[in-house]
Amino acid sequence: MTSENQPKAGHRGTPANNAFRDFMASGWATDDRSPTPRAEVADHAARRREALSGQFPGERLVLPAGGLKVRSNDTDFTFRPHTAFAHLSGLGAHAEPDSVLVLDPRPGGGHEAVLYFRPPAPRDTEEFYNDSRYGEFWVGYRPTVADVESELGLTARHIDELTADLGKDEAAARLRVVRSADAQLAELVDTTRTQAGSALTSEEQAEADGELERHLSGMRLCKDAWEVEEMRKAIAGTHRGFDAIIATLPEAVRKGRGERWVEGVFGLYARHEGNGVGYESICASGDHANTIHWTKNTGEVREGDLILVDAGIEVDSLFTADITRTLPVSGRFTDVQRKIYDAVHEAQQAGMEAVKPGNRFSDVHAAANAVIARHIHEWGLLPEGVTLEQTLDKENGGWHRRWMVHGTSHHLGMDVHDCQLLLREEYMDGELKPGMILTVEPGLYFKADDLLAPEEFRGIGVRIEDDVLVTEDGYENLSAAMPRGSYEVEEWIAGLAENAGNAGNAGNADQA
């Protein structure tokens, strides 16, 4: 839907005569490929749709994938479908732009899942070779209706049928749409509802759509076994990406503009291991680590500094890891760096221990926050006369938060900050349940110009982040294979440096 109004290249000069068209349409081998096999995710997606169907009986639910977004002129950003569409359809990185999943109410109850998209044009059409948006010459082979039905186990139709199908029968007045996914499609739904005689005001319609989006967001809170395995894949790939970063830290120092080097190394692994990065990587060396969302990555990486790397690989199913490690560039922490690092590590462990069924999401932050506050108090950084109890007062305290302004956790899954549309009582005050995956990521940040911090602390920023699964009786740290204690981190760096050295020596021996 969205891309129909996007600009198209008009400077190619492709021949337009009938003889050329006939020539382009001829001489192609018969396409004898079998339809795409049924995907493993198809059954899981079907169960999700069935659960959604039970919540909105008799209503037609519209979940757009969204369209391409222009980077400049006729060049687009890489397409990523809306998360709700991906979750309910089963299509991840290979979803087609402008696709729309519709749950169409059946007369006898339940819904039929119909996926609308643009299948490839026949090779005797001009679209085949001359349409830079959809043509096979330009964007490659695209799935057929048979492919989609075989892969996902649902009904597939041409996108041109969507408008008529939305407006058919009495369910046209009972439409809900994920408005944020595609503004143009949301307008079509609004018009269709009005023409069908919907009794809802525009504000009530928007609220109904918002209720759908919040429900879809909440459906992703607890992961099934297949989703947990996808998260394990994303985390394992991320681990390999961090190994590569550590192995090449000397190059990052030597080459200059080392933050970009680190970002590039991780990006290589992200594209090779999965779909790409799950979010813009933070590669923050020295004082840059004290900018919470430092994504410019333009700085130097220097011996003696710490480098904070917050990065995650998104696999093809769109599940993403989100892991932070703070690494001593030269391989060893200084005494002051270790003092701050160990305080953060202690706080993180306290946060992890609060991850258990029956606890509240906010309990994780409270546990980590208490440890951070205690260290700040012990280091004498609180204003004169302020006690530990006073700074931990939620209403009137918080002085220690100068050095950790962010929260400790967020839900994680197909979005790096997943389930964000839930209300506060459902999210912050929500009860932890088995299958939830959340981050635990306290930090301490002492900016270089912070005159209230000890001079030796200034310019040091530390965050440690892991991805944690709530289990039946506690938690599992899914990223536990990645060292996080200060001495373990040093051993990690030393081991990778030794392996790199051995590989180099072997190469020199071969050359000799």
Task: Say if residue 276 is in the same domain as residue 189.
Answer: no
Q: In what order do the strands lie in the sheet with 475-477?
A: 437-440, 466-470, 475-477
393 inside domain: yes
Task: Say if residue 117 is in the same domain as residue 265.
Answer: no
512 inside domain: no
Q: Which of 149, 183, 218 delimits the end of a domain?
A: 218
Q: Strand 155-158 and strand 111-117: pairing?
A: parallel
What 8-state DSSP symbol labels residue 38? P
Task: Say if residue 270 is in the same domain as residue 209.
Answer: no
454 inside domain: yes
Task: Say if residue 23 is in the same domain as residue 169.
Answer: yes
Task: Say if residue 199 is in the same domain as residue 160.
Answer: yes
Work out the pLDDT band at 4, boundaries 50, 70, 90.
very low
Q: Which of 186, 218, 250 delimits the end of a domain?
A: 218
Mean pLDDT of all residues in 293-302? 98
pTM: 0.93
Q: Which of 218, 248, 264 delimits the end of a domain?
A: 218
Task: Say if residue 234 is in the same domain as residue 121.
Answer: no
Residue 172 half-sphere exposure, CB side, CA atoms within 13 Å? 17
pLDDT, averaged across the chain: 94
Task: Say if residue 169 is in the same domain as residue 254.
Answer: no
pLDDT of the residue at 508: 52
Compute how many other C-beta atoms are within 10 angstroms of the C-beta atom of residue 331: 18
13 inside domain: no
Mean pLDDT of all residues in 370-397? 97
Mean pLDDT of all residues in 302-325? 98
Matching residue, tokens 């599940």:
319
Task: Say if residue 243 is in the same domain as residue 391.
Answer: yes
Mean pLDDT of all residues in 107-118? 96
Distances in Å between the Cα of 93 and the Cα atoms of 48, 83, 225 are 19, 11, 20
Task: Say if residue 415 is in the same domain as residue 377.
Answer: yes
Task: Say if residue 118 is in the same domain as residue 167.
Answer: yes
Q: 199-204: which pairs have CB atoms within 8 A and are 24 or more residues apart?
A: 199/173
Following DSSP, what letter does each residue of 277-303 receive, concatenated?
ESS--EEEEGGGGGSTT-----S---T
402-442 pLDDT tens trace: 999 999 999 999 999 999 999 999 999 999 999 999 999 99
Q: How many domains would you assign to the chain?
A: 2
477-499 pLDDT tens trace: 999 999 999 999 999 999 998 88
Domain encompassing residue 275: 225-503
Q: What is the CATH number of the domain that holds 124?
A: 3.40.350.10
pLDDT of the residue at 33: 86
Could you give phi then psi for residue 40, rounded to 5 degrees?
-60, -35
Q: What is the CATH number of the domain that holds 243?
A: 3.90.230.10
58-93 pLDDT tens trace: 999 999 999 999 999 889 999 999 999 999 999 999
- Give yes or no for residue 243 having a pLDDT over 80: yes
- Give yes or no for residue 158 having a pLDDT over 70: yes
Task: Say if residue 286 is in the same domain as residue 351.
Answer: yes
- Cα(465)–Cα(463) distance, rounded to whole angstroms? 7
Work out the pLDDT band at 98, boundaries 50, 70, 90.
very high
Is the distance from CB of 127 to CB of 117 less than 8 angstroms?
Answer: no
Task: Say if residue 369 is in the same domain as residue 257.
Answer: yes
pLDDT of the residue at 6: 47
511 inside domain: no
